[in-house]
Structure 1
Amino acid sequence: MLHAGGILLYEYASDNVSLANAGAAARAQGPSTLASNPAGLVFLPGTQVSGGLQLVQGHLSVDTDVGSIPGDDSGNIVEWMPGGSFFVSHAVNQALSVGFGLYGDFGLAGDYDEEWSGRYFVQDASVVGVSLAPSLAYRLNEQWSIGLGLRAVYGVLENHVAVDNNPLGIGNFADGQLHYKGDDWGYGANLGVIYQPCDGTRIGLSYTTAVDLEFEDRLSIDNLRPALSSLLEARGILGAPLRIDMSIPQTATLSLYQALDAQWALLASVGWQDWSEFGRVGIELDSDNPTSATVDRQYRDTWHLAVGGQYQATPALLWQAGLAYDSSAVSDSERTFDTPMAESWRLATGVSYAFDRGAELNLSYAFIWMGDMPVSQSKGLNGRISTSGEFADAGIHVLSSSITWRY
């Protein structure tokens, strides 16, 4: 079996982390707005440059059930993972602004113990996308602004999975291992509009197109039993080019930014992601049927709801917080070990401090709670290879820091 998939992120090393994406398409308070709504660039005076760093650490390990194939524990599959971003904006005149962004808002990675119980489904898998986004925005009048960003995404898909050298359950041959690594460029666009009926109120609507990626690598398997190697070679599979098609889903987000007074502001977002058009991530090989393949995972569209607030404690210090909910792209029965996705809650907070000479530092933290995620997979003759268990109390911590210079 072959499959491909992944996850979209709201956390891409910007102050958006501290709001759990609340108000993202309407806020327009820094150059990172071009990632959530390029129309927001017209609200940024002068030239602004922002750079960010981020660390992600997960609590994601599988408690396997009795009856699963023998093996070690999975271990924590998401250790510390770094990330970063860069954004710049420039106001050409009162009506026209341009910008550029380099950021990663798409990806998933899991590194299991190589000898764990589910090694025949995944040992480690990652799909990472980095976006380059030149953008421009135009102010039509005092109320309406529009924006367009072109998006070039460089994606890398990598996967290792064990191959059972004893497909009939007899013999005592050590496992083989399948390796796959492919990369590709995909292209899309970010579109946005912001309506400002009065000072202190902004309503933003943004849309991102789908981005298609085609990964290709040659099927490579180490330590394969000679009989299986001969079978794959005879069928023209071993060493043959293998292509995996994948689409980063299209999205739509509607946001509100509402200043309540000189200190307080309320933010909210509702979003949609087209996961039903998405496939799978990972690679498997059924040694009893090495030509089988599938890309349909029965994903469903997801919805995002977020609320947040800002408090200007002093002229220099801004506090932000947000709460968000995302529905799940998979049901419990469709979940697999290579993409442990579920409905999630985000709780986030952070502070921004404005220094002299137009520099502002942001520190943010977000906790993503996914709870208990049961998984059960089987393959081989009569489902002989079977692993089931649960990601218990699954959660992800995100630490983010960014600094913005304004000229």
Structure 2
Amino acid sequence: MSKRVVKTSLFLALATAASHSVAGGFAINEQSISSMGTAFAGRSSSADDASTVFGNPAGMARIKREQVSGGLALIYAKTDIDNASGSFPGSNDGDMVPFIGAPMGYYVKPLNDNWSFGLGMYVPFGLVTDYERNFQGRYYGDRSEVRVITLQPTLSYRFNEQLSVGFGPTINRIDGELTSYLANPASPGRGDDGKVEIKGDDTALGFNFGVLFEITPQTRLGMTYHSKVDYRLKGDTTVSGSGVIATSAGSYDATLELTTPESLDFSVTHELDADWTIYAGSTWTRWSRLEEIRADNKGVVGALKGNISSIVEEQNWHDTWSHAVGAAYKLNRQWTLRAGFAVDQSPTNNTNRSPRIPTGDRKVFSLGTAWSPNDDVTIDVAYSYLIEEDTQINHTSASKGNYRSTYKNSAHGLGTQVTYRF
């Protein structure tokens, strides 16, 4: 077993670091299809349906009828790898992110004129990267799959016609499975690599808090705070291989501690007239918390034991801002059209960026529509196109060789959501 084993574990935690609404990294942004149509502008001030449980818990005060909302977002990502070079031969096919889906479901019930109860289930983030067998940068990243599901019970309280607040604890379940290649120190890159498989999971608590202030019946301001979450992932790492690697082959316990950052979302919604509504918003995420990731392995044996009992990997992520604007046009009583544009900073840097999370600053273009055949049902559909700036990977290691490349990432998102009012 070598440093590669623990670095596989490290990236299980690193994948979870991309969380909350419009944060960078590999965040899953689609917790609401109605908000997706405006590129999530106005997420904390719109309160159009039960998905406000995530967007701003205080927005439940605007919902006058008991309702449920459920939906699914499908994400198709594409990656081209250019200008690749490295110490060892291999391919650079790209397109390592398979077709994935993110479900969501919400329930809101007004209890009286002041109190409302809500419940939400959503996917705040996820990561799937799966390179080809002979990927040239396989020692720095191969297959990664991490899933998070959050359950959020919520209460809101309306003080008066203008001010409402909301609060909800979050129960966050993380699980992941990774497969990686381990360079044989005797002959790295020569076809006798080892294999690493790791599984890990944890359940941790956080909370969401929101404030909604209605300046006028046409204009409202929203603020939502998503708390940091402290995780302690426990995983099993299984190593197999020949030569020196074989002396450390077996299964070991791995423990990783990670704090995901807090974020603040600010937005404004303004109804220009009976037909037009405009939205704007910004989100700040404290990614600078992720300075390093530390992993500890227990019971390590073999020739490389001294290298992996405790491993620290520098990340040096930085705080990010994202900004979005959007508009909605009420075509008639049944149909509403939406559009939006967002810019989103990446927390990574050129020095530490890995093939597992090769993300850069992004731009998002969105379109959406809502169809309400009657007062009880609304069906939302939205489409987004995301494109990132070219990002550089540049790594050098005595055991894994050099790997340099340029990533060109883009993604398409398509979602639908149904809201039913009782």
Shift in CA distance, 357/333, structure 1 to aligned 2, threshold 3 Å: same
Structure 1: which 4+ aligned runs deviate by more than 3 Å?
168-173, 279-283, 285-290
Q: Secondary structure at the match of 2:112?
A: coil
Structure 2 partner of 1:100: 119
Q: Check conservation: 2:322, 2:342, Cα contact below 8 A.
A: yes
Report the Cα distance in structure 2 between the residues aligned to 1:15 and 1:57, rounded to whole angstroms. 19
Structure 2 partner of 1:314: 332
Q: Please state if 1:65 is matched with 2:81.
A: no
Q: Check conservation: 1:288, 1:380, Cα contact below 8 A.
A: no
Q: Check conservation: 1:213, 1:246, Cα contact below 8 A.
A: yes
Report the Cα distance in structure 2 between the residues aligned to 1:198 and 1:59, rounded to whole angstroms. 44
Structure 2 partner of 1:23: 42
Structure 2 partner of 1:377: 395
Shift in CA distance, 287/371, structure 1 to aligned 2, threshold 3 Å: farther
* Counterpart among 290, 300, 306 of residue 278 in structure 1: 290
Shift in CA distance, 114/290, structure 1 to aligned 2, threshold 3 Å: farther
Structure 2 partner of 1:387: 403
Structure 2 partner of 1:400: 415
Shift of 1:16: 1.4
Q: Please state if 1:177 is matched with 2:198.
A: no
Q: Please state if 1:258 is matched with 2:258.
A: no
Structure 2 partner of 1:228: 245
- Residues 33-75 of structure 1 deviation map (CA, whole Å, 9 limit, x = unaligned): 1101100001001111111011100012423523442112243
Shift of 1:154: 0.5
Shift in CA distance, 266/239, structure 1 to aligned 2, threshold 3 Å: same
Which letter maps to 1:276? S
Deviates further, 353-362 or 311-320: 353-362
Structure 2 partner of 1:323: 341
Coordinate RMSD, CA, aligned: 2.3
Shift in CA distance, 27/308, structure 1 to aligned 2, threshold 3 Å: same
Number of positions where the alignment pairs a residue of Structure 1 with one of Structure 2:
396
Shift in CA distance, 12/282, structure 1 to aligned 2, threshold 3 Å: farther
Shift of 1:13: 4.9
TM-score, length basis structure 2: 0.89
Q: Please state if 1:269 is matched with 2:281.
A: yes
Which letter maps to 1:277? R
Q: Secondary structure at the match of 1:60?
A: strand
Q: Please state if 1:83 is matched with 2:97.
A: no
Percent same amino acid at aligned positions? 26
Shift of 1:113: 0.8
Structural mapping, 1:137-286, within 5 Å:
137-165=156-184, 167-169=185-187, 174-222=192-240, 224-230=241-247, 232=248, 238-278=250-290
Report the Cα distance in structure 2 between the residues aligned to 1:253 and 1:227, rounded to whole angstroms. 51
Report the Cα distance in structure 1 between the residues aligned to 2:260 and 2:417, rounded to whole angstroms. 26
Structure 2 partner of 1:49: 68
Deviates further, 273-282 or 31-40: 273-282
Structure 1 partner of 2:354: 336
Structure 2 partner of 1:133: 152
Report the Cα distance in structure 2 between the residues aligned to 1:171 and 1:274, rounded to whole angstroms. 38
Which letter maps to 2:403? T
Shift in CA distance, 171/302, structure 1 to aligned 2, threshold 3 Å: closer
Q: Any gaps of 5 or more consecutive residues in structure 2? A: 20-27, 298-302
Q: Secondary structure at the match of 1:19?
A: coil
Shift in CA distance, 376/172, structure 1 to aligned 2, threshold 3 Å: closer
Which letter maps to 1:129? V
Deviates further, 128-137 or 293-302: 293-302
Structure 2 partner of 1:119: 138
Report the Cα distance in structure 1 between the residues aligned to 2:212 and 2:293, rounded to whole angstroms. 35
Shift in CA distance, 113/280, structure 1 to aligned 2, threshold 3 Å: farther
Which letter maps to 2:412? H
Q: Check conservation: 1:5, 1:282, Cα contact below 8 A.
A: no
Q: Check conservation: 2:256, 2:294, Cα contact below 8 A.
A: no
Q: Check conservation: 2:89, 2:189, Cα contact below 8 A.
A: no
Shift in CA distance, 143/357, structure 1 to aligned 2, threshold 3 Å: closer
Q: Any gaps of 5 or more consecutive residues in structure 1? A: none
